[in-house]
Structure 1
Amino acid sequence: MAKVAVVLSGCGVYDGAEINEAVLTLLSLEQQGATYQCFAPDREQMHVINHLTGEPVAGETRNALVEAARIARGDIKALSALNPGEFDALLVPGGFGAAKNLCDFAVAGDQMSVQDDFLSVARGFHQANKPIGLICIAPVMAAAICGAGAQCTIGNDTEVAAAIDAMGAQHLQCPVTEARVDVGNKLVTTPAYMLAGSVSEAYAGISDCVKEVLALS
């Protein structure tokens, strides 16, 4: 039975992990016979967004680990405790938290940098030849993790696809219900809410992503 590390980036599509994507990832893992442990960085998230208005909340701060614990029902550990040697694969749901709290793509675009703690963990999986699944916007980190030429998808967003190519990865078109597999890098990606218009559409692609990750583990 595969044991998978799931890295969350807060709680909420605009400033943390996309909740539907996170839950569907955990559901798919259970349905496909894997076990998992959730992790998140123990630091303040970039900012707090009012999810009713879409506007930043002045003067409010939240901790990404504390917020992600809402999704994991408290069963979560700090990212610093994640040892790739104890797991068979890594999965990273999307949401703007992936582009704000795991890296700074949301503000820096193709000049982004990945947070050192997450990059060290993700590269640890890659260097150990263990599969990695990146969901939604998370594939913008593909080249940083797997190196130049890594193949990934965010669906068909031309601007983000161009940024991915500029950073040294190769973007692949992909419908919402599917995933794309870079066999050489053991990297699996799916668009999820980069394209999804419903929970069921997101589920189809995420389930396929999980299936492919587990097949490579």
Structure 2
Amino acid sequence: MKQVAIILSGCGVFDGAEIHESVLTMLHLERQGARYQCFAPDIEQHHVINHLTGEEQDEQRNVRVEAARIARGDVASLDTLDASAFDALILPGGFGVAKNLSDFAFKGAQSSILAAVKESCQAFNQLGKPIAYLCIAPALIGHIHPAGTLATIGNDEATAQAVEALGASHVNCGVADIVVDDTHKVISTPAYMLAGSISEASTGIEKAVQKLLEFA
């Protein structure tokens, strides 16, 4: 049975991991016969957003503690992720990727990435193990993989330009499709960058998971 690591960035689309994408990832992995383990960095969130009003809250939350809401408590510290113990890796989207795992939401083409995320992803890459990036997570590809690695965030021109400036080669992609870099075993899909419903997001995520497990 394939073992897949999932890196979460909190809980909630505006300040953490996108919940629908995270749960769909788990569902499709399980349906396709794989097991998974969730990981998250033990750090403070960039900020906390009230998801009802969209306003920033005057409080602090921990990324791993929040991710535990999605993982039903079973989320390990990212520092303990050992690429040799898994067959593949997947990163759901949500603004937490661009605010907590990196500062892409604020700095775009000048962004940097959390060292633990970069090291974990590169460890999988160096072992020839596949990685799937969902939604905004492909914005990290240029930070992690060799220049020219194929990536998609859908078709938003400004975001695609920032992805290219960071070194990835952006490919426009529909919500139901995936972009695959066969050389580097990197898969990406737009998910909620384009999806108007949970079923639309599910279609691309299912294909991404299927391809991930094929590579693995």
For structure 2, which runs of at least 5 residues remain unmatched after alignment?
none
Structure 2 counterparts to residues 1-217 of structure 1, below 5 A: 1-58=1-58, 60-217=59-216
Select between 142-151 and 92-101 the one with higher mean Cα deviation. 142-151
Deviation at 1:167, TM superposition (A): 1.1
Superimposed CA distance per residue, residues 157-206 of structure 1 (whole angstroms, 9 cap, x where no aligned partner): 11100111111111011110111100001000000000000000000000
Structure 1 vs Structure 2: percent identity of aligned residues? 56
- How far apart are the structure 2 equivalents of 1:172 and 1:203? 20
Deviation at 1:127, TM superposition (A): 0.8
- How far apart are the structure 1 equivalents of 2:89 and 2:128? 11
CA RMSD of aligned residues (A): 0.6
Q: How many residues align?
A: 216
- How far apart are the structure 2 equivalents of 1:211 and 1:94? 18
Select between 19-28 and 170-179 the one with higher mean Cα deviation. 170-179
Structure 1 ranges of 4+ moved more than 6 A: none
For structure 1, which runs of at least 5 residues remain unmatched after alignment?
none
- Equivalent position SS for 1:25: helix
TM-score by length of 2: 0.99
Superimposed CA distance per residue, residues 55-106 of structure 1 (whole angstroms, 9 cap, x where no aligned partner): 1112x00000000000000011010110101000000000000111111101
Amino acid at match of 2:39: F
TM-score by length of 1: 0.98
Amino acid at match of 1:83: D
